[in-house]
Chains A and B, each alone.
Chain A
Amino acid sequence: MTNTDMINAERGIITLDDLRDHLQYAIGLELTTIPAYLCALYTIIPDANSAACEVIQSVVLEEMLHMSLAANVLNAIGGAPATGPVGDGPSPVPVYPATVPFIDAMPVIRLQAFSKAAVDDFIAIERPAPPEEAGPQAPPAGGRYGSIGAFYAAIEAGLRALGTPDVFRRGRAARAGCQLTSEYYYGGAGTLIEVTDLDSALAAVAEIVREGEGLPRPVLGQTAHEHLLSGARTPGRLGAPYDVDDMDRLPFGWKMYSHYARFKEIRAGRYYQPDQLVGEEPAGDILPVDWRAASPMTPDPAAQAYRGTWAYQPMMAFSAAYTALVDTVYRGFNGEPALLRQAVPGMYELKYQANSLLNMPSPLDQNQTLGPAFEYLTLPRRTAAKLVYPQRRGAESGDAAVRH
């Protein structure tokens, strides 16, 4: 993306349209890391590295939660989540390798196989901003926000400035039935918050931020225990809050940790001890990781590279399935929340196709494999359907697959 004629940190959020545009990009921002994490996850040889798989899986689910929270806020102020271009700016759906043009110093997000380098990149992505750069004080650099924290802080300020009761009332009327409620979310920490007013909108933004992104406080100086306590809460039975407290010293309290801390544990091959600082290297129980148990995928997979070879069709078929999944999720954000159940088989379809690709030697290099390119396609529906199910006679059945 070279076009930076889009949301602008220097301008910030002045109008309601600015606020909605920021939220469209927030949804896209939360989507951005998902393919990178899924790609690493898919390359792990089945049955190996179960701990790492579970960590990545729940992080992916939490990013989906963040997408949903951002969508709820956008819907609440009368916006409609969309994959199309945002005003004069580009589509919020990322193109890989992905940069985030409106945030300064974001590492490039790449599709790569599970490896030490990949996990290092994940740690860099999730690293909380150093305190002096975080928060609203971060100076915009060339129209860009200094950090993710600054980006969300601007959204928060925009909500406070523009989120009048009238705005929310009109939003509720215009976007009735679009809020996602908590029973749609599971598999990761955190809760889905239905957004109906300013308080719930701010709570939703705080929920996104709380899980380790852009924490505007000296996170690295927290002990793992404190960091654990600052993490999301998981409600106990019947909705009663179940706070982590002093008694929670069991090693499998990891679920409360930020994405940053969990990736550090995978990289180190050890869990944190409760009294360690998050900035330290984990030195607790062993977390077994077999770094060799990963497919040798060609990094930065792209269908275009295989044009003219047999590999082009399966590469495109994966991207068609990914496109269908993203479209399903966005339809779920636009008043069809029950469609999110379709996302579950959609995710399985992605996994099966990715596993197939990762077992196909590349025609360009026999020592590497094809891989999931996560390209969001804007093809006519029938063309995309033929890519997903080329053997099926008639586009009808393909339509059924691609419609969601």
Chain B
Amino acid sequence: MTGDRHDGDRHDVVIVGGGFAGAAVAKTLADTGGKRILVLEAGRGTGMSAGKYASHVEAFQASLVNTPNTPYPNNPNAPQADVLDIRQILGQPAPGQPPRSVTDTSGYLVQTGPLPFQSDYTRALGGTSLHWLGTCLRMLPNDFELHRRYGQGVDWPFGYDELRPYYERAETDIIGVAASVTGQHYPGIDDQEYFGRYQYPMHEIPASYLDRVLARKLDGRNITVGGQDYPVRMSSTPAGRNSVPRNGYAPVGAPGNPQLGERCEGNTNCIPICPVQAKYSSLKTWYELMRRHPGDQPPTPARSSVTIVPQAVATKVELDEHGRVSGITYQTYDDEAVAPAPDPRTARGTIYVLAANAIENATLLLASGVANSSGMVGRHLMDHPLILTWGLMPEPVWGFRGPLSTSGLEMFRDGPFREHTSAFRIEVGNEGWNFSAGAPTSTVRAMVGRGRYGPELRRALGEVIPRQFRLGLEMEQIPEASNYVTIDRAYRDQLGGYRPVIRYDLPDYVRSGFAMAKEASDAMYALLGVPPLDPDQDRDAFPYPGDYTSYQPTDPGYVTYGEAGYTFQGAGHLAGTHRMGSSPRTSVTDPRQRTWDHDNLYLVGCGNMPTVGTSNPSLTMTALAVWAGENIAADLGGQS
């Protein structure tokens, strides 16, 4: 794949980025037949080979530290954000002085603060679909109308009903989603209106044992939060991972090894990697495209020609004298560690698509001086800031089994409170305290530190680890122009490309969400029989049951709201940086996801999302990308 020169060849479509959105656009276009499609991916294409995917699994297994990018080592020629680089941005003040914002350049992201942007992404073929959890929630109808209904954020230029058929295609044709309609419970949602007669292609992943314990103790109870009563109900989480099929659907296994991964096997490390590839990643779509639409054959009316070039970093979007995109300049490399001799090539197409994720799309556009008459490129950077709560249950609940999350508590995804406080969803984690406290490694360390060893250590671990559980409470972040990614000549990577320079903060709207979420969590812990720990109890003795949630002012994501402090983390969701809208003054792309400024440049990915609701955005991104693919095909004079 590398080494072939593709500059000079003219393609119908050039796509920058090999993740979710790039794959969904490529497939939608390729399946219309007759298209020449070139895909440039900055990172490696390692995962495409069944044998080499195993090297990612081994990298993960060999590491004591479990972060989303552990299996996907950093590549200096295509560097990526990493959670290990996150620091507190506000410097410790001198006595009597206010906290001083200190730009943190220790990682790839240049963090100017005041808060660190804590989400990461992967630059490799597959993109962040390599390490995502797999949760496939649709947005709620009200999420598209946040401004009209609640006076917050902005409205989308279309609603849930317009996007719904694309959700179905994303779930059935691209990702493959396992879920049941009847097992999901959202506030104010009627199954018939929300889903119609739709059936997911695969049956839901069975609820974990923890889910069932929580359901037994919580379903049908009420909790009072912010003076309001909320009925509690566990909700099954739709997942992009293989399960028992419905209606003749054939689950897609690992690329190059199709009988592997036809069903989820319950490895709980979905983040950072599914060892058997039961979880969807865009590698599966690329594999399908390579087989059905091989790039070394000319296209026919029935078949397209898709060429994927990994280790090709796009450096500039070029314009001609009419302001149309004339090419994408890119640089290839062989050795990741060594900057290559400059040898810029240009990919040429009729239509160009940037699919490099919300942050990389923005920096490429800014570096090129393109598509930004609105001044909105890079602005309205959003994540789903989340807080964790965690504890030890009275009885064993057997975490570390089943995929990372199979159920959630969705009562707070919508409601009148959104006028003043962010909505949130509650993800039930099946991985004990792995996310919240680095368990089981940290548990072992703590016990060894207390002098336990041998059979006594094993016995004690056997008491504590099976009782570990955690909740992740993920806030909707509203768009603010003051949260942005930009570029600065002072900050470049090894290839000379611009590193993302980020300014990020959380408004009171989100912080009050933390407060409300913590109140909800506390109420549920009370129902579960998990009391707060006494301050004088020895945490490293792991008394149970008990709420072990702890937020320290030295945590990088520590924020205050009123009298309370919370530690927030990123959910791995980057969005909003080139949003869609109805007006070229306030948005970067039109409702068809084409840039206002250049009629042959499309942008796809979560960067298009004007608001993010409370759903993990990958499904919405994929649905939008399918729609963009259709729009591009129509622009090409479509041969559907």
Listed in ascending order, the chain A residues whose CB lies under 8 Å from chain B are 47, 50-51, 54, 57-58, 61, 182-184, 186-189, 234-239, 247-248, 250, 252, 255
Q: Which residues of A contact B527 (CB under 8 A)?
A: none
Interface pair A250/B263, CB less than 8 Å apart: no
Pick from A187, A236, A238: contact of B262, CB below 8 A.
A187
Residue of B nearest to A249 (CB): B294
Interface pair A237/B257, CB less than 8 Å apart: no
Interface pair A255/B248, CB less than 8 Å apart: no
The 9 lowest CB-CB distance pairs between A and B, nearest first, are A239-B248, A186-B262, A252-B256, A235-B250, A58-B259, A183-B244, A187-B259, A183-B245, A188-B259
Q: Which residues of B contact A236 (CB under 8 A)?
A: 250
Query: Does B461 count as interface, using CB distance less than 8 angstroms?
Result: no
CA distance A183 to B249 in the complex (A): 9
- Can you report 29 residue pairs joining A to B where beta carbons are below 8 Å apart? A47-B58, A51-B51, A54-B257, A54-B259, A54-B260, A57-B259, A61-B259, A182-B245, A183-B244, A183-B245, A183-B246, A186-B259, A235-B248, A236-B250, A237-B173, A237-B252, A238-B172, A238-B247, A238-B250, A239-B247, A239-B248, A239-B249, A247-B294, A250-B256, A250-B291, A252-B256, A252-B257, A255-B257, A255-B259
Pick from A50, A182, A234: contact of B258, CB below 8 A.
A234
CA distance A74 to B256 in the complex (A): 36
CA distance A333 to B172 in the complex (A): 31
Q: Which residues of A contact B201 (CB under 8 A)?
A: 238
Query: Does B50 count as interface, using CB distance less than 8 angstroms?
Result: yes
Pick from A57, A187, A234: contact of B250, CB below 8 A.
A234
Cβ proximity bits B65-94 to A, threshold 8 Å, 1 near / 0 not: 000000000000000000000000000000
B35-62: which residues lie under 8 A (CB-CB) from chain A?
50-51, 54, 58
Query: Does B251 count as interface, using CB distance less than 8 angstroms?
Result: yes
Interface pair A239/B250, CB less than 8 Å apart: yes
In the assembled complex, how far is the CB of residue B303 from the closest CB belonging to chain A, in whole angstroms?
A: 9
Known: A183-B244, A189-B259. A50 touches B291 (CB 8 A): no
CA distance A252 to B58 in the complex (A): 21
Q: Which residues of B contact A239 (CB under 8 A)?
A: 247-250
CA distance A50 to B55 in the complex (A): 12
Q: Which residues of B contact A51 (CB under 8 A)?
A: 51
Q: Which residues of B contact A50 (CB under 8 A)?
A: 51, 54
Q: Which residues of A contact B54 (CB under 8 A)?
A: 50
In the assembled complex, how far is the CB of residue B257 from the closest CB belonging to chain A, in whole angstroms?
A: 6
Residue of A nearest to B265 (CB): A344
Q: Which residues of B contact A186 (CB under 8 A)?
A: 251, 259, 262-263
Q: Which residues of B contact A188 (CB under 8 A)?
A: 259
In the assembled complex, how far is the CB of residue B511 from the closest CB belonging to chain A, in whole angstroms?
A: 45
CA distance A186 to B58 in the complex (A): 25
CA distance A252 to B50 in the complex (A): 9
Listed in ascending order, the chain B residues whose CB lies under 8 Å from chain A are 50-51, 54, 58, 172-173, 201, 244-252, 256-260, 262-263, 291, 294, 297
CA distance A144 to B468 in the complex (A): 60
In the assembled complex, how far is the CB of residue B302 from the closest CB belonging to chain A, in whole angstroms?
A: 12
Residue of A nearest to B263 (CB): A186
CA distance A189 to B50 in the complex (A): 17
Q: Which residues of A contact B244 (CB under 8 A)?
A: 183-184
In the assembled complex, how far is the CB of residue B295 from the closest CB belonging to chain A, in whole angstroms?
A: 12
Residue of B nearest to A250 (CB): B291
Q: Which residues of A contact B251 (CB under 8 A)?
A: 186
CA distance A106 to B396 in the complex (A): 51
CA distance A189 to B258 in the complex (A): 9
Q: Which residues of B contact A189 (CB under 8 A)?
A: 259
In the assembled complex, how far is the CB of residue B171 from the closest CB belonging to chain A, in whole angstroms?
A: 12
In the assembled complex, how far is the CB of residue A396 from the closest CB belonging to chain B, in whole angstroms?
A: 18
Q: Which residues of B contact A183 (CB under 8 A)?
A: 244-246
In the assembled complex, how far is the CB of residue A92 from the closest CB belonging to chain B, in whole angstroms?
A: 27
Q: Which residues of A contact B258 (CB under 8 A)?
A: 234, 255
Residue of B nearest to A242 (CB): B250
CA distance A188 to B50 in the complex (A): 16
CA distance A255 to B254 in the complex (A): 12
CA distance A183 to B263 in the complex (A): 11
CA distance A189 to B263 in the complex (A): 14
CA distance A50 to B257 in the complex (A): 12
Interface pair B250/A237, CB less than 8 Å apart: yes
In the assembled complex, how far is the CB of residue B418 from the closest CB belonging to chain A, in whole angstroms?
A: 38
CA distance A238 to B248 in the complex (A): 6
Q: Which residues of B contact A250 (CB under 8 A)?
A: 256, 291
Residue of A nearest to B176 (CB): A237
CA distance A234 to B248 in the complex (A): 12
In the assembled complex, how far is the CB of residue A238 from the closest CB belonging to chain B, in whole angstroms?
A: 6
In the assembled complex, how far is the CB of residue B267 from the closest CB belonging to chain A, in whole angstroms?
A: 12
CA distance A370 to B291 in the complex (A): 45
Q: Which residues of A contact B50 (CB under 8 A)?
A: 252
Residue of B nearest to A345 (CB): B266
Residue of B nearest to A61 (CB): B259
In the assembled complex, how far is the CB of residue A10 from the closest CB belonging to chain B, in whole angstroms?
A: 40
Q: Which residues of A contact B294 (CB under 8 A)?
A: 247
CA distance A51 to B52 in the complex (A): 12
CA distance A42 to B403 in the complex (A): 25
Q: Which of A47, A61, A252 has the most CB of B within 10 A?
A: A252
Interface pair B262/A248, CB less than 8 Å apart: no
Residue of B nearest to A62 (CB): B259
CA distance A182 to B248 in the complex (A): 8
In the assembled complex, how far is the CB of residue A240 from the closest CB belonging to chain B, in whole angstroms?
A: 9
Q: Which residues of A contact B263 (CB under 8 A)?
A: 186-187
In the assembled complex, how far is the CB of residue A224 from the closest CB belonging to chain B, in whole angstroms?
A: 18
Besides the contacts A51-B51, A187-B260, A250-B291, what 10 more A-B pairs have beta carbons closer than 8 Å?
Answer: A183-B245, A186-B251, A187-B259, A237-B249, A237-B250, A238-B201, A238-B250, A247-B291, A247-B297, A255-B257
Q: Which residues of B contact A234 (CB under 8 A)?
A: 250, 258
CA distance A54 to B247 in the complex (A): 28
Q: Which residues of A contact B51 (CB under 8 A)?
A: 50-51
Residue of A nearest to B54 (CB): A50
CA distance A272 to B298 in the complex (A): 27
CA distance A246 to B76 in the complex (A): 40
CA distance A336 to B364 in the complex (A): 58
CA distance A237 to B249 in the complex (A): 6
CA distance A365 to B258 in the complex (A): 41
Q: Which residues of B contact A237 (CB under 8 A)?
A: 173, 249-250, 252
In the assembled complex, how far is the CB of residue A177 from the closest CB belonging to chain B, in whole angstroms?
A: 17
CA distance A377 to B25 in the complex (A): 57
Q: Which residues of A contact B249 (CB under 8 A)?
A: 237-239
Residue of B nearest to A288 (CB): B51
Q: Which residues of A contact B248 (CB under 8 A)?
A: 182, 235, 238-239
Q: Which residues of B contact A252 (CB under 8 A)?
A: 50, 256-257
CA distance A51 to B54 in the complex (A): 11
